[in-house]
Amino acid sequence: MKKFALGILLLHVFQVAGLARLPKTVPLMPPRETGGGIGALKTKNNNFKEINSDNLNLGFEIGTLMRNDSTSADILGMQLFFGGRASLEFPILSTSLHLKPSLGYFRKQQSEAAVSVVQHVVEGGLNLLYEMAPWRNIQWAIGAAGRVDYLISTISVYNQSNSGSSFRFRAGPSSEIKFKLANNLKLTTDLEFTFSISRPTRFFGGLTTGLAFDL
Residue among 146, 143, 147, 101 at smallest CA distance from 121 = 147
* 174: confidence class by pLDDT, cuts 50, 70, 90: very high
Q: Which of 5-9, 50-54, 97-101, 156-160 has the highest mean pLDDT?
A: 97-101
Q: How far is CA 66 from the centre of its chain?
A: 24
Distance CA 121, CA 206 (A): 13
Q: Nearest 10 degrees: CA dihedral of 130, 65, 163, 124?
A: 20
Considering the four listed CATH numbers 2.40.50.100, 2.40.160.20, 2.120.10.30, 2.60.120.560, the one that applies to the domain covering 57-214 is: 2.40.160.20
pLDDT value of position 73: 74
Residue among 175, 158, 152, 176 at smallest CA distance from 81 = 152
pTM over 0.85: no
Kindly report the average pLDDT of the chain as a whole number: 79
CB 157 within 8 A of CB 143: no
pLDDT value of position 54: 54
End-to-end Cα separation, the chain, in angstroms: 78
CB 172 within 8 A of CB 194: yes
* 160: confidence class by pLDDT, cuts 50, 70, 90: confident
pLDDT value of position 95: 84
Written as one letter, the residue type at 82 is: F
Torsion over CA: 89, 92, 98, 101 (sign): negative
Domain ranges of the chain: 57-214
Average confidence (pLDDT) over 22-33 = 46
Residue 134 has pLDDT above 80, yes or no: no
Average confidence (pLDDT) over 115-121 = 92
pLDDT tens for residues 53-99?
457 899 999 999 999 887 777 788 888 999 999 999 999 988 889 99
Residue 22 has pLDDT above 80, yes or no: no
3-state secondary structure of 31: coil
